[in-house]
Structure 1
Amino acid sequence: MVTEPSTNAECVFCSIVADPSRDHVVWEDADVLAFMDINPVTDGHLLVVPKEHTVGLTDMPPALAGKVMQVAQELARALRASEVRCEGVNLFFAEGEAALQEIFHSHLHVFPRYPDDGFEISADWAGSTDDRLSHAADQVRAGLERIRSSAH
């Protein structure tokens, strides 16, 4: 679970959920609100947020996380069908400060992509050894086992 401090009273996304600017809202239902990002990567950049205040992906109830993804999928289709320049779509979800989360209310970025749009992802994609992959897989399986055993 993410532990960065944030309460509904100090959360900008909770404020938007409570009083959204209708000009920027593109989706609203009982659980989810989607609106234009005020600092877009490209024109058409959207944020999909659960109306319930949760900090990260691991805080969201599974059904709500699924609903956020379903809305993102529909918005990706809408971007493709719109007049917004869109030759591809990226989804981005950051959980925790180390992952570059800046607003500690769960949110999924959905933004259109096209060649030379200026967005870059930089990493060392050097690959790994079979031993390191096996070790990491063992660690993840152990984490899954801890989660399952603590749920019962």
Structure 2
Amino acid sequence: MSNCIFCQILAGKQPASVVYQDDKAMVLLDLFPVREAHCLVIPRQHAPLLEELEPALSHHLMDLARRTIRAHKRAGLDVRAHNLVVNDGREANQHVPHVHLHIIPRRGGDTLAAAWTWATRMLNVFGLPRRRRRLDRLAGLLAEHFPHS
């Protein structure tokens, strides 16, 4: 869809800090992260709701989430756990109507900071070029440690 930001990213028409991509999906860093190295897994198929995906594609997205978690740990990031979040539908706080899975690294003791950032993260639009450079460097690090399977 031409007005979907994720479809534009997948088509190479918008920038993204890409960690991994294949013929079915892409893993990229969230431009408005809740915690450092917050990634998104997005399918190449445009589908607003999870129920619209074929089971094999849903499984592939979860496998990419698993591999992203391993990349976080292999890259030496201070990560102790992860939240995996799917906001499925507008009423569930889905801002982009294209299925995507959030992989949010957690460090322990960061619940208040994570909650505050989640609530306010899209308000900070200042410094995007500097943020993009930082995310691109982090994407390169994660890509180096992304497991093949």
TM-score of the superposition, structure 2-length normalised?
0.71
Whether 2:22 is the aligned partner of 1:29: answer yes
Shift of residue 9 of structure 1? Answer: 1.0
Q: For 1:105-116, list aligned pairs within 5 A.
A: 105-116=98-109
Alignment partners' CA distance in 2, 1:31 and 1:103: 19
- Asked if the contact 1:90–1:111 (Cα under 8 Å) also holds between the matched residues in 2, the reply is yes
Aligned-residue offset at 1:42: 0.5
**Structure 2: 5+ residue stretches without partners:** 117-149
2:75 aligned with 1:73: no
Task: Give the superposed CA RMSD.
Answer: 1.6
Whole-Å separation in 1 of the counterparts to 2:21 and 2:9:
12
**Could you say which residue in structure 2 is the equivalent of 1:50?**
43
Q: Distance in 2 between matches of 1:60 and 1:11?
A: 17
Q: Which is higher, the Rg of structure 1 or of structure 2?
A: 1
Matched residue SS, 1:74: helix
Which is further off, 108-117 or 98-107? 108-117
Shift of 1:25: 0.4
Structure scoring higher RCO (CA < 8 A, sep ≥ 6) equals 2
Give the SS at the match of 2:40: strand
Q: Is 1:119 matched up with 2:109?
A: no
Report the TM-score when normalising by structure 1.
Answer: 0.70
**How far does the alpha carbon of each residue in 1:8-62 deviate from its partner, in whole angstroms, 9 at most, with x for none?**
111000000000646x100100001110000001110000000110111111111
Letter of the structure 1 residue corresponding to residue 4 of structure 2? C
**Corresponding pairs, count:** 113
- Return the alpha-carbon distance in structure 2 between the equivalents of residues 107 and 32 of structure 1: 10
Opposite residue 45 of structure 1, the aligned amino acid is H
Misfit runs of 4+, over 6 Å: none
Percent pairwise identity: 32
* Matched residue, 2:2: 9
Where does residue 137 of structure 1 map in the other structure?
none
**Residues 1:98 and 2:91 are matched in the alignment:** yes
Which 5+ residue runs of structure 1 have no aligned equivalent? 1-7, 122-152
Q: Which amino acid aligns with 1:111?
A: I
